[in-house]
Amino acid sequence: MTIRKFHPLRIGLAICLAAGVAMSADAAEDKLTVVVTDEPKSLDPCDTDLSGNSRILHNNITEALVNLSPKDGSVVASLATSWRQVDDLTWEFKLREGVTFHDGKPFEASAVVAAIKRAQDPALACEVGLATLKGVKLNAEPVNPTTVLIKTDVVEPILPNKMSAVDIGSPATPTDGKTRSPAGTGPYKLDAWTPGQSVALTAYDGYWGDKPAIKNATIIWRAESAVRAAMVETGEAQIAYEIAPQDGTTDQDQAFPNAETSLLRLDAQVAPLDDKRVREALNLAIDRDGLVGTIFHEDAQKAMQVVPPSVFGFNPDIPVWTYDPEKAKSLLAAAKADGVPVDKEIVIYGRIGIYPNSSESLEAIQAMLADAGFNARLEMLETSPWLKRLLKPWDKDRQPSILQTQIDNAEGDAVFTLPNRFTTDGNQATIADAKLDKLIADGSKATGDERKKLFQEAFRYIAVDAVNIAPLFHMVSIARVAKDVNYIPDVQAGNEIKLKSISYR
C-alpha cells in the first residue's frame, strides 16, 4: 500500500490548537515548564518501571542506590557510594551519609530495607517488583545505619544494575497502599499533583548533591505533538518531548536515540493468533520500509527483536521481516483450510500518544493487514484502559488482540526486558513456552559469554520459533528545547527528565 508523506504543519495552526492556555514570552529563570504526552499513572516510588511515572520521579523526587551511565550503561554511585559482592548470594552497599528525605527523616539502611520489602509486596503490585525484580527474591538487612546487605535467593550477577531501578522512598511511605505524595531524597520535592492538569515540583533546599539551577518545575501533558511543539514556540513551555517528525522541523528540535523499541504484541493464546502461520502472516503483511521516513522518523531502525544493539544479549544474526503480502495471504489460506478461524475479528489496541503518530501508524498497519486478508479493527485507548490490556490478569474469554506497545532498555542488559514480558508467569506475557522460560531463567543466572549466548538464543527463539510479536523499529525521539535553555537529551530521556541538569543560558 502507499503511505502518504507528512508535511510540516504551519506553526499558526499549532498555536491555535494550544489556545486557551496562558502564554508568556519570557520564562522566569526560577520556573520551568515541561510538556509530555500523558499524565503519570502513579507517583509511588515503587512504580518507576513505567516510563510515564519514572520521568517525573526518578532522580527528580526519588533516587536509587545507584544510577546507570547514559554513555555506556556502567553502574555509578548515587545514594550508595560503593558496593561489593560478599558471596554468590550477598551484596554489600555502603550508603551516603548526611542525606535526608523531603519529610525530614534520615536516609539510613532501614529505609533501604523498607523500600525493598515494599517493592516486592504482592499486595501492592509494584511495577518494579513485577518487572525488574521478577524472578529474584531480595532480603535486605541493615548492618549499621550506613551499611546494608542485600541477599538473593538465586545467583544475581548484576544486582547493582537492578538496584538502579529501585527508588527509595521515605520510611514513612505507607505499606498498605500506594502513595500519591512521595517523599524522596531527590533534588526536587512534590509540591502538588493536580489530576488531569499538572505536577508541580519545588527544589529541595536540603538536597545532598549539586543544587538544581531552576527552583520550580511544572510537568504538564498534551496529547497532540503540534500542540506540544507550539507551547515551546510561544514560551508556554521550555521543553517538549515526543515531537512528531512532521512537527520537528526547526533548529530547536533535537533528535536522539531513546532506547525504545516499538512493536505489536500478539496474543498468541487466543485463536486465530494461537496459530503460528497467522502470526507469521501478520509480520509479512507489514511494510516497514514504507513506514520509515513517513510516519516514523527517518533515522528509526527496523527491528527484529525488542532491544537495540546496545543491550547485552542483542542477537545480530536475526534478519528483519520482509514485506511479502502474497506469502501472508498464502499462509492465511493454509491456516483456514485447516480450520483456523482466520476471518475472526482481531482488535488492535493502540495507546494515544505512546509515540508521535501512534494513531497514524496503526491506521496504516490496519490497512496493510486488511490488504493481506486480516479482519482487524482499530481501537485507540487512553493510558489507563491501555494498561489494563498490557498487564495481567486478562479475561479468559477475551477477543483476539494485537497491542501497540514499546519497550525501553536503557539499563543495558536483556534481563531488564525478557522475564516479565516473555516467560509464562510474566505480567505482560501472552505466551507460555517452557523452552523459552528455561532460556531466560538460565541466562539470568549466567555471567559473561554464557549469559550473552543464552539471551541471544532467547531473542532468536522469540523471533523465529515463538513469533508472538511483530517488532517494528528501534526508535528515535525528538525534543523541542527553547532557545534560552541549556539541555541536551540523552538515551535515557524517554524515562528520565533530569531536571537538575537543566538551566537557562
Paired strand residues for 32: 217
Distance in angstroms (rounded) separating the CA atoms of residues 168 and 212:
20
Burial 12-25 (b: 16+ CB within 10 A, else e): eebbebbeeeeeee
Q: How far is CA 453 from CA 53, 308, 314, 481, in A?
A: 33, 16, 9, 41
Q: How far is CA 417 from CA 108, 423, 426, in A?
A: 31, 11, 11
Task: Kindly report the number of other CB atoms within 10 A of residue 475's CB atom.
Answer: 23
For strands 253-266 and 401-408, give the pairing: antiparallel
Burial 102-127 (b: 16+ CB within 10 A, else e): beeeebbbebbbbbbebbbeeebebb
Query: What averages of pLDDT result for each successive group of 10 residues across the chain (505 residues)?
Result: 42 44 53 96 95 96 95 91 96 98 98 98 95 92 98 93 96 96 98 97 97 97 96 97 95 91 97 98 98 94 93 93 98 98 98 93 98 98 94 94 93 90 94 96 91 97 96 96 96 92 95
DSSP string, 343-364: TS-EEEEEETTSSTTHHHHHHH
pLDDT for res 14: 45
Closest CA to 398 of 352, 359, 345, 336: 345
Long-range pairs for 334-339: beta carbons < 8 A, 24 or more residues apart: 334/277, 335/272, 335/275, 335/277, 335/278, 335/281
Paired strand residues for 144: 147
Please give the grid coordinates belonging to residue 60.
527528580
For strands 80-87 and 75-77, give the pairing: unpaired
The domains of the chain, with CATH numbers, are 11-37+187-252+482-504 (3.40.190.10), 63-168 (3.90.76.10), 257-476 (3.10.105.10)
Distance in angstroms (rounded) separating the CA atoms of residues 232 and 246:
16
Distance in angstroms (rounded) separating the CA atoms of residues 59 and 458:
32
3-state secondary structure of 310: coil
Residues with Cβ within 8 Å of residue 405, at least 6 apart in sequence: 262, 263, 264, 265, 351, 354, 390
> CB-side exposure of 386: number of CA atoms within 13 Å?
22
Is residue 378 exposed (0-12), middle (13-18) or buried (19+ Cβ within 10 Å)?
middle
Q: Is the dihedral of CA 419, 423, 424, 427 positive or negative?
A: positive
pTM as predicted: 0.82
Please give the grid coordinates belonging to residue 393.
490478569
Instruction: Give the DSSP letter of residue 412.
Output: S
pLDDT for res 135: 85
Q: How far is CA 2 from the centre of its chain?
A: 31
Task: Kindly report the number of other CB atoms within 10 A of residue 377's CB atom.
Answer: 12
> CB-side exposure of 62: number of CA atoms within 13 Å?
28
